Structure 1
Amino acid sequence: MALLFRRHGWPLSLAMLLIVAFWIVIQVVLPQLLMIDFSFRPNLLPSELGGPKDGYTLGNYRTLWANDVHFAIFVKTIVASAVVTLLTFAVCYPIAFHLAYELKGPKAARLMLVLVIPFWINEILRTFAWYIVLAYAGPLNALLVWLGILDEPMRFLDGNGGVMIGMVYAYLLFMVFPLYNAIESLDPAQVEAARDLGASWGRIHRRVVIPHAKPGIATGCIMVFMLAAGSYAVPALLGSPNSRWFTEIIYNWFFEGGNWNQGAAYAFILLLLCVGFIFAMMRVFRVSLGELTR
């Protein structure tokens, strides 16, 4: 704080702090407090507000445990989001290592640009493009049938497969950049020393690269998991009635059922889950909150 005031002076520093405080309070704190208040109140008619029925209750939270369908979708969303996180890490780790260790200068910049350019397009449009690619009569099925890999087209959009593919692609950069930043700071001499001592590439990654990149791995996993668990557009476009996401249930409570109190309770449960996942990743990778935010 003192460094901020010395660098920019009192007037500018105070203005910056006020803007940040206003943003946090208005955009983050107050909406969350309002959502929490909604979640503990019953859904009442306007005439019943302030009456004897208008009190705090846990009924909205009990609904999730009492409704077997909603609870099953909730558990499936957690598991599927974890699988999406693992798949995204498996895809992004080789890319990040290649960018940070094997490529230098203009080559790395060009490849990074190739990764970033598709994300200049709106997420819904990119997701709908995957809908076209994965459709029963889409180009992917046509190619697989033409190559003889499939005897007949496959329905990619009937289960969770299309949702998984769409999410891995949608959140690719949120895993690549933290991994790249962490691996780039690794001293190449450590890798060369391990190679000179006869370590295999698998052992080098397991004993040298991955331990060094733990903050980047934790950050990438947290970002991808939270985005996947809270995604609505991807499962809505690429999913089917058999692959509903928990966010779709929340949307239905708010905008189709008109029960904002129940929707707020479900949303708060999802928020608690994401916060718990953050602390779990910090414990698993043994990193502090400061290391995650670097």
Structure 2
Amino acid sequence: MAMAELIRRFGPGLGGVILILVALWIVGMVLAPNLMMLNFSLKPNLFPSEIGGPKDQYTLLNYTALFSDPVHRAIFLKTVWGSALVTAITLAVTYPLAFWMAKVASVRGARAMLIALIIPFWINEVLRTLAWYILLAFNGPLNIFLQTLGIIDQPVRWFGDTGVLAGMVYAYILFMLFPIYNSISTLETAQIDAARDLGASTLRIHRRIVIPHAKAGIATGCVFTFMLAAGSYVAPALLGSPGSRWFTEIIYNWFFEGGNWNRGAAYALILLVLCMAVVLAALRLFRVNLADVAK
């Protein structure tokens, strides 16, 4: 149906060219790299002289290694839990803001808030994370501010799990905010006013009217945020500590420090499967389909 609509809209010539370009992009940028990763992950890490020999056979050893290594298994599970926590915190922060921008703020106020949120993201992610590194430093502005207020007596080492969570929530806030804002903005304000006139509380209005209407946007934001958090490398590398390693750091080490691309490919595909499972679970939880998410 989509292909027929494309041909009808743009004609057989331009429509065919668009379909060919899309097919080339999917094959070259999506299928081919993942198939190569799959092939790498099913092969043992061999010396060049051993490639093609009796040891060069397909095996699941690179996959089972994750679950047989207690350290890597713990880091993987921590990444899953940490990504879910980042998603929950980001949702809790952005939902009230999205509702305020869509239904409470004036046009000028909403526009000013959008500009204030977007401008910092014109800067590279690494530089924005370095800004958090400075902010959370042992003698950084946050500790100085808290000491000035008398909240803490000694500087606190924020690096580690706290720093990683804070950096990720900030880094991916727009990916949660915009889908929810777009969904809420399509809700008729008259429905909220009618519910309020009939005596519904604010909590009941959000639970029975706003959230059901915005569930596609909430699902989209949660999926994006979880996937980005699970695949993040910059924030854990700069804001983390030896005790707060992220699974992407393990993958990086296998590829670029350990030189074991086969093990790194297996770990990367396990992370990919995790993200796909989260997408399917989120769609089922919010009772939406991919077409609703794509809108």
> TM range, normalised to the smaller chain?
over 0.9
Matched residue SS, 1:153: coil
**Superposed counterparts of 1:1-294, under 5 Å:** 1-157=3-159, 159-294=160-295
Q: How many Å separate the matches in 2 of 1:105 and 1:9?
A: 40
Q: For 1:148 and 1:174, how far apart are their aligned partners in 2?
A: 36
Structure 2 runs not aligned, ≥5 long: none
Aligned-partner SS, 1:142: helix
Residue deviations 1:150-197 (CA, integer Å, cap 9, x gap): 10110001x300000000000000000000111111111111111011
Q: TM-score, normalised by structure 2?
A: 0.97
CA positional deviation for 1:269 = 0.4
Tell me the SS of whatever aligns to 1:136: coil
- The CA distance in 1 between the partners of 2:109 and 2:20, in whole Å, is 42
1:9 is displaced (CA, Å) by: 2.2
| Alpha-carbon RMSD | 0.9
> How far apart in 1 are the matches of 2:132 and 2:31?
36
Bigger Cα displacement from structure 2, 240-249 vs 111-120: 111-120
Structure 1 CA distance, aligned partners of 2:9 and 2:274? 39
C-alpha displacement at 1:104, in angstroms?
4.4
Gaps of 5+ in 1: none
Query: Hey, what's the Cα distance between the residues in 2 that align with 1:10 and 1:110?
Result: 44
Paired residues, number = 293
Amino acid paired to 2:256: F
**Aligned-residue offset at 1:105:** 3.0
* Matched residue type, 2:119: I
What is the alpha-carbon distance in structure 2 between the residues aligned to residue 146 and residue 103 of structure 1?
A: 34
- Distance in 2 (alpha carbons) for counterparts of 1:108 and 1:257: 49
Q: Percent identity?
A: 61
* Paired amino acid for 1:140: L
Q: C-alpha offsets along residues 101-130 of structure 1, whole Å, 9 cap, x if unaligned?
A: 112433322221111111000000000000
Shift of 1:20: 1.5
